[in-house]
Amino acid sequence: MQIRFWGTRGSIAAPGPTTARYGGNTSCVEVRAADGTVIILDCGTGARELGIHLAQTMPQPIRLHLFIGHTHWDHIQGFPFFVPAFLPGSELNIYAPIGFQRGLEEAMAGQMEYSYFPVKMRDLRSRIHFTELDEGFFRVGDVLVETQFLNHTAPTVAYRMTSDGATIAYATDHEPFWNAPGRVSQHPGDERHIAFLKGANLVIHDAQYTDEEYRDKVGWGHSSLEYAVDVALAAGVERLVLFHHDPAHDDATMEQMEAMARAHVARRHQALDVLAAREGLELEVLGGTGAVPAMPEASALQHRQIVGGRVLVVSTNEPEVAEIEEVLVDDGLVFLRQADMRAALARGPELLPDIAIIDRLLLDGDGDVVLDVLRDRLGRRNFPIVVLADSSIPSDAVYRGEASSTDYLAKPFSPPMLRARVRAWLARTLMVFDPAERVASGGERLPAGGDGRARFSSLLAAIPLFRKLTGEQRDMLLASAAEQSFAPGQVLIRENDPPDRLFVILSGRVRVLEVAPDSPVELIVGELGEGEILGELSALRNQPRSATVVAVERTHCLVIPQSEFLKVLQNSADLAVSLLRMLAGRLYETDRRLSRYAPDPVTGLAGRRAFHDQYRRLAAVARRRKTGALLLVLDVFQLRAINDRFGYGVGDDVLRTVGDALVEATRTTDLIVRHGGDEFVVFFPDAGPGDVDTVIGRVREKIKGLSGKRGIPVAVTCNFGAAYAQSPPESAEDLLREADQDMLRRKR
């Protein structure tokens, strides 16, 4: 494989005479395999020169693979200037882990909004495909690619690429999991990192700091050159390239750091070729010694949703617990709080957590023994546990093999680092069960007796629908029942399936979908959660399924045969009445949602009722983040006169034009509604009072452009009013009133 460095700098570009030798552009590395596959590692400012070079030298149409380690700006900021993205016929395949709240496409496109760049992502003429990655393997041409999560302040992956016996590893924006004196590490995260690099011919590794500098940068998500050398030596790497240079390091400093790294190797009395990355540096990596990993079934292309993951938090430290919940709440996780390990051990099998965060002080010196007991109670040998430790990793927590799933995080912990670690563990372990675990992904019959059957009987008794059944009736339901788990996106029921089973949701959430008439589009009919059942209507009517049901998050179900359910139903008036009440409740909720959330029939935007519900959620997020928010009100000038003169058809065209202009002129995170006959409202989280004139100007420009394209026979103008709140109130009424008053002032 051929390697060329186009950008070597980290954090921010630092061009100039003092960085001319090692380079001032941010991360971008070109990799060419023997079969002609072209891979680009990160798309920092170095991508501009690379794009020009590729457009001049590659045959058309260009086909490229962009591997992004994570979507922090210094790794994607060169994309808007990447020439192949503008060429018709070019095909760009972009891979990266999903970020916080934002999908990959949204994160890449965000820097190309009109506020920051004159060309939007959707205006590019190339064909662009986005693929979000988890840990695992996939192939690009003849190149086998392996991914593994790194220790950074955002979800970040390393790439290991093997082709023709040659192996390259790219691991930038990574920090040691734990600083342990003496050995390279006693932390399982560092040991997994070493195993990932093992036997590579070339490793490009984050080495932003010296050891002395790193002491003041713990938690920033970057490595020292000494750590990079240590892990490379431990992994038996042939050549190490120091990468992601600090913007404050000039050429003289980089030369010193290169010498320091070589001296560090010499002190270890091992063989390792070390050099610091320089822009324009070209390397050839030959095969023959690179260790080719065995390719398991785990695919990096299969995205595992973490929404709904259940986090067991064991701590008595209230501020610490509040901080954990604050940093994880936006990921849609469920928190299960226990005050001590005794309660966690007792309730663990009932709570069914996906990960635990435990204060080291509550382990009472028993260390890994207590953690092993918890895993045994849960029936999951690889259950991930993050231990919050005050100082060094204690002696009873020594590393016990590459597959260890006990993680240690020093207190006070870095909130972004904790969040990235939790996300990595959940993505790594959700629905990846050991074959010997008690819950089989394909469904497993319940045990014939004992504690397991008693537990399911008590769970069934806690569900309102089955609460009044006798013990004998519950046993009849459980006699032929099975338990089954479904990964996010997995189908429980398909349309036209036979009505042979009912599903009782013990944990998780599912979505009911129906295909619209004369359209292949699936419509969301509703969602069901813990304690509810599905499939009962088909079972009662003995008709094929009328809808498809898909797991939204990891969902654990009790599956009951139709015949057993009908037997119990025929012999229990209480169950029949409970079932009628449940169905009546669903009908009522469906009617309420239709009236409340049905979109405006003219513009397709949300309506007044939906606005007030969604406003409360968005305002709460803005208050928690202390980012402030802006509310914009606009009404269409002389809409009644337009209707009277040109007819309601033209009036509707005017409303649709204003609605479409608002959608094009705002962000996907903004809330846009038709609030009344001629009135629209837009709520902008994370916006300030200085944005008002910019937004209004952009909306006016869009209205004017769309009106001309659509041939509206009258000039469409709007009146505007705005209100800002650093801490948005729970109700929107005050902001609406303030915006209306501002509109009156502007009219005058």
Extents of the domains making up the chain: 2-284, 310-429, 444-597, 608-747
Q: Which of 64-68, 224-228, 433-437, 518-522 is least confident?
A: 433-437
736 burial level (CB within 10 Å; 0-12, 13-18, 19+):
buried
223-268 pLDDT, tens digit each:
999 999 999 999 999 999 999 999 999 999 999 999 999 999 999 8
Alpha carbon distance 509, 459 (integer Å): 17
**Range of weakest confidence among 26-30, 325-329, 515-519, 683-687:** 515-519
In this predicted structure, the answer to whether residue 399 has a pLDDT above a threshold of 50 is no
572: CB partners within 8 A, 6+ apart: 468, 469, 473
Confidence bin at 290 (pLDDT 50/70/90): very low
Q: Which of 402, 398, 392, 322 is nearest to 357 (CA)?
A: 322
Kindly state the average pLDDT of the residues 562-582: 88
State the pLDDT confidence band at 656, using cuts at 50, 70 and 90. Answer: very high
User: CA 738, CA 748: separation in Å to the nearest integer?
Assistant: 16
- The per-type count for the chain, helices as H runs and strands as E runs, is 20, 32
pLDDT, tens digit, for every residue of 607-627? 887 788 788 878 887 887 788
Question: Can you tell me the distance from the alpha carbon of 485 to that of 505, in angstroms, rounded to the nearest whole number?
Answer: 10
Q: Assess contact for 76 and 68: CB atoms under 8 A.
A: yes
Helix axes 188-197, 225-234, angle to 10 degrees: 70
pLDDT at 373 over 70: yes
Q: How confident is the model at residue 454 (pLDDT cuts 50, 70, 90)?
A: low
| C-alpha span between 355 and 409 (Å, rounded) | 14
Averaged pLDDT for residues 391-408: 58
- Using CA atoms, how far residue 481 sits from 89, 436, 497, in Å, is 55, 20, 19
Residue 252: φ, ψ to 5°: -65, -40
Q: What per-residue confidence (pLDDT) applies to 400?
A: 46
Q: How far from 279 is each of 67, 283, 593, CA to CA, in Å?
A: 19, 12, 58
pLDDT value at 442 more than 50: no
pLDDT band at residue 460 using 50, 70 and 90 as cut-offs? confident
CB 610 within 8 A of CB 673: yes
- From first CA to last CA, the distance across the chain in angstroms is 69
What is 608-747's CATH number? 3.30.70.270
Q: What CATH number does the domain located at 444-597 have? A: 2.60.120.10
Query: Which residue would you say has higher pLDDT here, 308 or 175?
Result: 175
Whether omega for the bond prior to residue 412 falls within 30 degrees of 0, making it cis, is yes
Which residues, 6+ apart, have CB-to-CB distance to 329 below 8 Å? none
Helix, strand, or coil here: 262?
helix
Average confidence (pLDDT) over 547-552: 85
683-730 pLDDT tens trace = 998 888 888 999 999 999 999 999 999 999 999 999 999 999 998 988
pLDDT at 436: 33
Average pLDDT of 115-132?
A: 88
Beta bridge partners of 31: 3, 39
Does domain 310-429 fall under CATH 3.40.50.2300? My reply is: yes
Answer whether 242's CB lies under 8 Å from 225's CB. yes
Asked if the model's pLDDT at residue 75 lies above 90, the reply is yes
Residue 448 has pLDDT above 70, yes or no: no
Tell how far CA 179 is from the center of its chain.
28
Mean per-residue pLDDT for 490-506? 87
pLDDT for position 667: 84
Provide mean pLDDT across the span 80-104. 87
Judge whether residue 432 has pLDDT over 60: no
Contacts from 406-414 at CB under 8 Å and sequence distance 24+?
406/188, 406/368, 406/371, 407/177, 407/187, 407/188, 407/189, 408/177, 408/178, 408/187, 410/178, 411/320, 413/388, 414/153, 414/219
Output the pLDDT for position 299: 77
Cα–Cα distances in angstroms (integers) from residue 672 to residues 612, 614, 662, 717, in the given order: 11, 10, 7, 18
Positions of E strands within 244-296: 273-276, 282-284
- Which has the higher per-residue pLDDT, 107 or 668? 107
Q: What angle do CA 5, 7, 12 make, to 5 degrees?
A: 160
β-pair type (310-314, 385-389): unpaired
Answer for the pair 400, 367: CB distance below 8 angstroms, yes or no: no
Does position 402 have pLDDT exceeding 70, yes or no?
Answer: no
Please give the torsion angle defined by the CA atoms of residues 501, 505, 507 and 509, in that order, rounded to the nearest 10 degrees.
Answer: 100
Work out the mean pLDDT of the chain and round it to a whole number.
85
pLDDT over 90 percentage in the chain: 42
Q: Facing residues of 386 across strands? A: 357, 407
- For range 286-301, the mean pLDDT: 62
Q: Are 441 and 557 a contacting pair, CB within 8 Å?
A: no
- CA distances to 134, 156, 368 from 327, rounded to whole Å, are 21, 17, 26
- Tell me which of 429-433, 558-562, 601-605, 612-616 is least confident: 429-433
What is the full DSSP assignment across 147-161?
A: EEE-SSSS--EEEEE
Alpha helices in 198-284 (DSSP H): 211-214, 225-234, 251-268
Architecture of the domain delimited by 2-284: 4-Layer Sandwich (3.60)
300, 134 Cβ separation under 8 angstroms: yes
**Residue 710 main-chain phi, psi, to 5 deg:** -90, 0
Q: Please tell me whether residue 345 adopts helix, strand or coil conformation.
A: helix
pLDDT of residue 39: 97
318 vs 174, higher pLDDT:
174
Please report, as a single letter, which amino acid is at residue 195: A
Q: How confident is the model at residue 102 (pLDDT cuts 50, 70, 90)?
A: low
Q: Is the pLDDT of residue 441 over 70?
A: no
Q: Give pLDDT, residue 26.
A: 97
Residue 509 pairs in a beta bridge with 529
pLDDT at 743 over 90: yes
H or E stretch including 502?
strand 501-507
Question: What single letter denotes the amino acid at residue 648?
Answer: Y
- Distance of alpha carbon 320 from alpha carbon 523, whole angstroms: 42
Give the model's pLDDT for residue 185: 66
Highest mean pLDDT among 254-258, 324-328, 345-349: 254-258
Determine the longest span between alpha carbons in the chain, in angstroms: 90
**Which residues, including other chains, have CB under 8 Å from residue 322's CB and lie 6 or more apart?**
none
Average pLDDT, integer, range 416-427? 89
pLDDT at 156: 94
Q: Which SS3 state, helix, strand or coil, does residue 42 take?
A: coil
pLDDT at 123: 85
- As beta bridge partners, residue 409 has 388
Residue that has been written with the tokens 């802006």 in this structure: 630
Contact call for residues 495 and 547 (beta carbons, < 8 A): yes
Alpha carbon distance 99, 423 (integer Å) = 10
